[in-house]
């Protein structure tokens, strides 16, 4: 079943890269009591993700925060090493590795990309999460990049 607006995010954890190596991020520590802009990309370093999706949130981080967003998170079914490297210049965005795809599976937004040699991946989407509850959910049609952009989210806030 796919998560919907009004649903509470499931208790899963992400991993982020720190100076000391990969470290888990507790679900409640990231979402509890905060309004979070969370977006998912099918893969770090992929063309649309690198050229448009991540840059839109980096460029609009201050505008999102001015509209009440406390934190911005980018997730992908990649390991923390890949996400850490990809996010080196992503100021204002926390890179959240979902290496085994547990998060996207739990919310029903995973897909099979094995035809491209990529295994299970997360769909391209964005959501506004307020204290762990999904306020806005924007899931892209396959191959699209429109409703999951930072620009679209700004219009929703």
* Number of domains into which the chain is organized: 1
Q: Is residue 113 part of a domain?
A: yes
Q: How many CB atoms lie within 10 A of CB 113?
A: 16
- Please name the residues in contact with 89: beta carbons below 8 A apart, sequence gap of 6 or more: 58
Task: Assign 107 to helix, strand or coil.
Answer: coil
Q: Is residue 64 part of a domain?
A: yes
pTM of the predicted protein model: 0.94
Q: Is residue 10 part of a domain?
A: no
Q: Is residue 35 part of a domain?
A: yes
- Please name the residues in contact with 29: beta carbons below 8 A apart, sequence gap of 6 or more: none
Q: Is residue 62 part of a domain?
A: yes
Residue by residue, pLDDT tens for the chain (157 residues) are: 799 999 999 999 899 999 999 999 988 999 999 999 999 999 899 888 888 999 999 999 999 999 999 999 999 999 999 999 999 999 999 999 999 999 999 999 987 777 777 768 889 999 999 999 999 999 999 889 999 999 999 999 9
Residue 88 structural domain: 15-156
Q: What share of the chain is helix, strand, coil (3-state, %, to 5)?
A: 30, 30, 40
Q: How many CB atoms lie within 10 A of CB 66?
A: 11
The answer to whether 74 and 57 have CB atoms below 8 angstroms apart is yes
What's the CATH code of the domain at 130? Answer: 3.40.30.10
Give CA–CA dist 110/99, Å, rounded.
12
End-to-end CA distance of the chain: 26
pLDDT score of 136 = 98
Catalytic residue among 3, 37, 38, 49: 49
Annotated active-site residue 49? The verdict is yes
Q: Is residue 6 part of a domain?
A: no
Could you give the count of Cα atoms lying within 13 Å of 34 in the half-sphere of its Cβ? 15
């Amino acid at each position: 079943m796919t998560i919907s607006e009004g649903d509470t995010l499931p208790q899963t954890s992400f991993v982020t890269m720190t100076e000391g190596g990969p470290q888990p991020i507790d679900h409640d520590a990231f979402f509890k009591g905060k309004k979070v802009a969370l977006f998912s990309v099918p893969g770090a370093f992929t063309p649309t993700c690198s050229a448009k999706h991540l840059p839109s949130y980096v460029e609009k981080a201050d505008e999102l925060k001015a509209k009440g967003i406390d934190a911005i998170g980018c997730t992908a079914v990649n390991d923390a090493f890949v996400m850490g490297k990809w996010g080196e210049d992503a100021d204002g965005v926390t890179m959240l590795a979902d290496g085994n795809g547990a998060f996207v599976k739990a919310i029903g937004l995973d897909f099979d990309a094995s035809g491209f040699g990529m295994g299970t991946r997360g769909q391209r989407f964005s959501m506004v999460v307020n204290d762990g509850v999904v306020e806005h959910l924007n899931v892209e049609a396959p191959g699209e990049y429109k409703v999951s952009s930072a620009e679209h989210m700004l219009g929703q806030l």
